[in-house]
């Protein structure tokens, strides 16, 4: 059965092939990923701060990606004035260190990439908000832009559209997300699938 609601666009995440994942927050404080009518990703002109009335169906999902919805109708409303205020009036972000993300289920590879896996338990969500307790420092690498605590190998890959900054200050509101389940095509059959953690942007 289709559902209706008003949402604010709170994130735009880069996907492969020039696609964009649109993150939204409902007036009731539910995180949603706005997908195409067939539950696929697509290039979208929706921008952070816009308010939309949407009609959607829930997509069949593999946990923890419970936020995915297929938008079948949409109409833009007034432009919001303050995205951060809208978010903080509706959700309670995690306030803490990087190892507390995703219900504390996050783990890190030897090179510092954050991920979750079935072996360590699954969080109850794949998108959320975080107030880091220390500055997050930008590191430019061949793998892309990474943000992590100073003098700490652990990090999140930056996949947003905002212009990169040298550091994100402690106490600033950021949005985090989990990529879809993945493992290398040439991986050993016993290699676990993982969802890698990402930083979508800051408010």
Mean pLDDT (the chain, rounded)? 93
Instruction: State the burial class of residue 172 (Cβ atoms within 10 Å of its Cβ: 0-12, 13-18, 19+).
Output: middle
Examine the pLDDT at 43 and tell me if it is beyond 70: no
Q: What is the pLDDT of residues 109-143, one digit of tens each?
A: 999 999 999 998 999 999 999 999 999 999 999 98
Go through the domains of the chain in sequence order and give each one's CATH number. Answer: 3-86 (2.40.50.140), 92-202 (no CATH)
Interior/surface letters 88-102, b for 16+ CB within 10 angstroms, e for the rest: eebbebbeeebeebb
Q: What is the pLDDT of residues 172-203, one digit of tens each?
A: 999 999 999 998 888 788 888 999 999 999 99
What 3 state SS string does 55-119 have?
EEEECCCCCCCCCEEEEEEEEEEEECCCHHHHHHCCCCCEEECHHHCHHHCCEECCCCEEEECHH
- pTM for the whole structure: 0.91
Task: Pick the closest to residue 146 from 154, 176, 108, 138 (CA basis).
Answer: 138
């Amino acid at each position: 059965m289709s559902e209706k609601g008003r949402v604010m666009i709170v994130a735009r995440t880069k996907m492969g092939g020039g696609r964009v994942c649109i993150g939204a927050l409902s007036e009731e404080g539910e995180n949603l990923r706005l997908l195409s009518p067939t539950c696929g990703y697509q290039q979208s002109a929706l921008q952070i701060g816009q308010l939309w009335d949407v009609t959607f169906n829930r997509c069949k999902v593999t946990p923890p990606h419970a936020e995915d919805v297929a938008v079948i109708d949409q109409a833009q409303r007034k432009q919001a004035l303050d995205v951060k205020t809208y978010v903080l009036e509706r959700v309670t972000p995690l306030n803490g260190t990087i190892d507390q993300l995703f219900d504390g289920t996050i783990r890190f590879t030897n090179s510092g990439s954050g991920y979750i896996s079935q072996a360590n338990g699954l969080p109850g969500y794949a998108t959320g908000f975080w107030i880091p307790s220390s500055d997050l420092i930008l590191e430019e690498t061949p793998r892309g832009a990474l943000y992590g605590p100073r003098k700490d190998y652990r990090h999140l890959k930056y996949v947003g559209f905002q212009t990169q900054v040298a550091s994100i200050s402690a106490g600033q509101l950021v949005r985090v997300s989990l990529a879809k389940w993945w493992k290398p095509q040439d991986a050993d059959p016993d290699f676990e699938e993982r969802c890698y953690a990402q930083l979508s942007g800051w408010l």
